[in-house]
A and B are shown apart, each in its own frame.
Chain A
């Protein structure tokens, strides 16, 4: 992965004497303590990350955690107090005003929480704004703007004024304005936070769909974990100016580093997000068809399971057998001679909830890879244990099964 955008040790201190605050922050003093000792706000504290080409990188955290400040450091709407920022390997902080403007006009565009449209310009003129600033000829910029409006589905509204538009439409205009510039990087500071849940979901879909075509590098800011999970390739969880965890949505949900991160993860309906491959441990043993009876019995005993999945020499599941039958069989019996029952199989990526349904009755399910080889096997007990682990962590767990859509639809 080549880094499109790279931030290294970025600090931002608000206040009149940043030096002392910076020194303390560098020594590892917590921003809260720096504030009480020096009165300076360390809004961003030693943040480093890379964002790859065509990646959606989300910075998520509660309000006041420094997300807006950080994203504004990336195009220098805020001047970082320390650190370095590179775009395509070029240092951003060393650039003079004219060079910086050039970067903003061509490489990096921004979408704002409150849309920040110009009320005195028509929708299409708003979309043209960036092109106008960089001096493109009228005809050409109109064409580009109309194309961008088409991308966001607002062609019919080109000649209206922003005041005639709903919030969701305004943000589509905001997005079109950013796209018209054809930047490599899109910075989006809580772009959907001001919208109703249903409209928000709409725009999230629209963004994902668009991203499949345009493949921009996107730095997305949100305080909504659902949104982060839905949109992101990777999520950085931010707290008090620092990144506490960076990883795929999966990592964050399954392996939260602390309670702060886990609290976000808890909001999620786990069984929706989690998939078969995540159940751990997978305790149903896999037994090779050519294994001897004694070995097979030992495996069953250790796993404390009443059944096992039998796999062929090529690794593919052949069926399952019951421990009882194995015990009753004669000593020299080959696995292949025992009665075998058909076994269901699921991919590691299948949703956990679907897997649970497949585990009807007492039958185990083999988890297979793309080649059809078994990588493990689970039964209802395993899945339930996994889900109950979730339920234990969040008391209202089961009710969450209804999922966010229902909640939103109810509003």
Chain B
């Protein structure tokens, strides 16, 4: 038998974590409950709207979005995909997943873009934030579930919270990256014409960083899609739950259509958000941002 560290020498890291979480749960419960509130409200709102619409209206809307953002082929693809989801009987689940995505991504934008802006303007802040983002991106998705359940409980809203945290890093990173690659002479021009810091941010930095931010949005959306499936494990509703049920009941058909619906949703949304990138990129630089999307997919986030 191999030697092991004697029991009395074991570092009780598990107890440390337990203690910290207990402390947070006991002392900060009101704060965590308060955080649920805006997320829950938004989720209900978006679900309400999506559920109130006849399915074909949503199909048409996505067909239009797909067409405008990625051409008529993709418009057709979106129409067929959403119609198929409807006719497979997964409409409500899909709309719940969509609502989770919209909510999570909205919060990622509202929190992540300002963080990215501060990071892009302050080397110190970025040097603090960067290791945290690295850890977040190397942590497997289901590891997020444990603390979230401890702090927020189970259900769809805690699921959305886990999704927000999991999907946040790319948009922060790429906002930061976008701000940092704004050409110095363009910024200098702003300064030479008497721009304030704020004017320079609004008129130069952000517009020039926008394509990069949109790449971040695209990545964040894809990560949120992954997480929106995983959070079924903590009781969140949606297509993930369909897959989970199918697996639990050894119902391959159910798990299969759930998986198919997720893939169709993912492709539809991915191409549409890639269209945002193209739309915000000045015509002369399109190829550059095209390559940015591909590079990001093959190598991970650009180092910076």
Contacts and interface: CB of A to CB of B under 8 A. Distances in A.
Interface string B40-65: 00000000000000000000000000
B283 A164 contact: yes
Given A110-B189, A116-B186, A132-B203, A163 B194 contact: no
A116 B193 contact: no
Query: Chain B: interface secondary structure?
Result: helix
B186 A104 contact: no
Contacts of B208: 118-120
A344 to B, nearest CB: 53
A133 interface: yes
B186 A118 contact: yes
B284 A77 contact: no
A101 B194 contact: yes
Contacts of A316: none
B285 to A, nearest CB: 7
B199 A110 contact: no
A161 B283 contact: yes
Interface in A47-101: 75, 77, 101
B204 interface: yes
Contacts of A187: 192
A109 B283 CA distance: 28
A104 B185 CA distance: 16
B259 interface: no
Given A118-B186, A161-B283, A77 B191 contact: yes
Nearest to A180: B193
B188 A181 contact: no
B282 interface: yes
Given A120-B282, A163-B282, A163-B283, A133 B193 contact: yes
A96 to B, nearest CB: 13
A109 B282 contact: no
A364 interface: no
Interface in B194-212: 194-196, 199, 203-204, 207-208, 210
B206 to A, nearest CB: 10
Nearest to A163: B284
Contacts of B204: 118
Contacts of B189: 110, 112, 116-118, 129
Interface residues of A, number: 30
B253 interface: no
Contacts of A161: 282-284
Contact of A120 (B183, B196, B207): B207
Given A112-B185, A129-B203, A133-B199, A119 B285 contact: yes
A102 B194 contact: yes
Nearest to A164: B283
Contacts of B196: 101
Nearest to A125: B203
B258 to A, nearest CB: 41
A41 B169 CA distance: 40
Contact of A116 (B185, B194, B280): B185
B188 A118 contact: no
A248 interface: no
Contacts of B285: 119, 163
Contacts of A132: 203
Interface in B164-199: 183, 185-186, 188-196, 199
Nearest to A110: B192
Nearest to A135: B199
A134 B284 CA distance: 29
A116 B188 contact: yes
B130 to A, nearest CB: 25
- In this complex, the member of A110, A113, A118 whose beta carbon has the largest number of chain B beta carbons within 10 angstroms is A118
A177 to B, nearest CB: 8
Contacts of A113: 185
Interface of B: 183, 185-186, 188-196, 199, 203-204, 207-208, 210, 280, 282-285
